[in-house]
């Protein structure tokens, strides 16, 4: 006897569809002979002795009026075993004259078995999808590939030696309920897997999805610009299709043990830093934010407090933020006075005055490389956009 579980919802679907084929009441019994689906809802839950006969003898059982009188809860009809891969998983019973029903019985049984097989395949696909998601979640959290993890991947047909880079996708689903948010994520998941792209995907939460993308191109090289183009193309497709707005952060590409976990951490932090610094943008790339991403691990620690102290002094006395903006422009223009003055639409003498004022307030000598570096790092750690 098979261990396949014939659930009530599927049994009732079989009843509804087969009763369209034949003008007769249909019962569906599970592997224990209990009625789990019927055109006569009052019979659901009853034991069906005709089904027990079909199960025990593994054959079609006809029940006429004479036989029905000796069986409990049985009406005249025909009972046919339902099989999947040769194993009996239940029984389908048609109520009426056995001789008249036999002509239709095999057709009804075949229809029911097709529905069972389809449901089993969908269940297997869903189970495989869940296992793949769990594998991805383990990969982004594991620094080492345990034998169990490698065996798990092998069973799923996933090559863990294939180089991959991690992208984090965030969905703006704050206005949606749980069901709607999950539906949007699943649609996005389908978009990222069809046509076949060999992406490994897991839904981390109602707002976050992680994608493990094949890293190398057809020439075996990591092409950063190609990945950038693909991210922008996905954003365009999402916008055109009217889906929820999303943000994507692409992490760094690593090789060696723990490469997926490290790539995920860079992608996750790139998303955090990118939203903080450029909230209007929808895509962020580690290569564009290397320093602030790497410095983010210091945030909240004593090192960050020490590094931020000079800038904190400046911000306290720089009421309108003019000096801070000047400092940012100065660094953005590679500390070149002419370029900075031009960018700020001010005279070079005005720029020099402001830089001297910054030195006074911070206690740092801007002509000294180490002092410049301290102030630059402090700006990178500053949470103000």
Residue 297: DSSP 8-state: G
Write the CB contacts of 245 (distance below 8 Å, at least 6 apart in sequence): 171, 172, 238, 239, 282
Q: What is the pLDDT of residue 26?
A: 92
* Residue 139 contacts residue 261 (beta carbons within 8 Å): yes
Q: CA-to-CA distance for 212 and 179, rounded, in angstroms? A: 25
Cis peptide before 342 (omega within 30 of 0): no
Write the CB contacts of 244 (distance below 8 Å, at least 6 apart in sequence): 171, 172, 173, 176, 184, 238
Q: What is the pLDDT of residue 284?
A: 97
Q: Which CATH architecture has domain 162-296?
A: 2-Layer Sandwich (3.30)
- Sign for the pseudo-dihedral over CA of 109, 115, 118, 124: negative
Considering the entire predicted model, what is its pTM? 0.64
Considering the chain, tell me which residue range(s) the CATH 1.10.10.2840 domain(s) occupy.
Answer: 298-381
Strand order, beta sheet including 61-63 = 35-38, 26-29, 87-95, 77-84, 61-63
Low-confidence stretches of the chain (pLDDT < 70) are 1-4, 73, 124-126, 173-182, 194-197, 241-244, 383-385
Considering the chain, tell me which residue range(s) the CATH 3.30.70.270 domain(s) occupy.
Answer: 162-296
Q: What is the pLDDT of residue 65?
A: 85
Longest dimension (CA), the chain: 114
* Residue 277 contacts residue 269 (beta carbons within 8 Å): no
Q: What is the pLDDT of residue 327?
A: 94
Question: Residue 38 forms beta bridges with which residues?
Answer: 27
Overall CATH class of domain 8-120: alpha beta
**Is 326 exposed, middle or buried (CB count within 10 Å of its CB: 0-12, 13-18, 19+)?**
buried
Which of 1.10.10.10, 3.40.47.10, 1.10.10.2840, 3.40.640.10 would CATH assign to domain 298-381?
Answer: 1.10.10.2840
- Condensed to tens digits (0 to 9), the pLDDT of residues 31-82 reads 999 999 999 888 899 999 889 999 999 999 998 888 888 777 678 899 999 9
Q: What is the pLDDT of residue 149?
A: 83
């Amino acid at each position: 006897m098979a261990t396949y579980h014939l659930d009530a919802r599927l049994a009732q679907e079989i009843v509804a569809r087969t009763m369209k084929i034949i003008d007769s009441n249909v019962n569906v019994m599970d592997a224990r002979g209990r009625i789990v689906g019927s055109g006569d809802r009052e019979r659901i839950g009853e034991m069906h002795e005709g089904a027990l006969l079909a199960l025990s003898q593994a054959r079609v059982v006809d029940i006429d009026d004479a036989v029905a009188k000796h069986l409990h809860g049985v009406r005249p009809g025909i009972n046919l075993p339902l099989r999947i891969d040769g194993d009996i998983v239940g029984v389908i019973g048609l109520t009426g004259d056995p001789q008249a029903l036999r002509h239709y019985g095999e057709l009804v049984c075949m229809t029911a078995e097709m529905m069972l097989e389809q449901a089993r395949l969908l269940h297997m696909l869903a189970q495989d999808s869940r296992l793949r998601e769990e594998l991805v979640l383990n990969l982004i959290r594991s620094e080492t590939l345990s034998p169990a993890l490698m065996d798990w991947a092998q069973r799923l047909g996933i090559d863990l030696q294939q180089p991959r880079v991690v992208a984090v996708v965030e969905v703006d689903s704050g206005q949606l309920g749980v069901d709607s948010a999950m539906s949007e994520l699943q649609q996005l998941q389908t978009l990222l897997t069809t046509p076949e792209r060999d992406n490994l995907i897991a839904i981390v939460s109602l707002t976050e999805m992680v994608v493990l993308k094949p890293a190398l191109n057809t020439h075996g090289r990591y092409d950063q610009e190609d990945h950038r183009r693909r991210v922008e193309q996905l954003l365009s497709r999402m916008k055109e299709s009217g889906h929820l707005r999303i943000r994507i952060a692409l992490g760094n590409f690593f090789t060696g043990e723990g490469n997926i976990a490290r790539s995920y951490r860079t992608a996750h932090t790139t998303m955090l830093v990118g939203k903080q610094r450029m909230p209007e943008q929808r895509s962020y790339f580690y290569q564009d934010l290397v320093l602030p991403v790497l410095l983010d691990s210091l945030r909240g620690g004593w090192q960050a407090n020490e590094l931020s102290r000079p800038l904190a002094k400046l911000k306290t006395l720089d009421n309108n933020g003019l000096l801070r903006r000047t400092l940012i422009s100065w660094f953005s223009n590679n500390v070149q006075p002419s370029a900075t003055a031009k960018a700020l639409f001010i005279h070079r003498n005005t720029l020099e005055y402001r830089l001297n004022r910054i030195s006074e307030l911070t206690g740092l000598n801007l002509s000294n490389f180490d002092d410049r570096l301290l102030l630059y790092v402090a700006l990178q750690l500053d949470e103000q956009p």
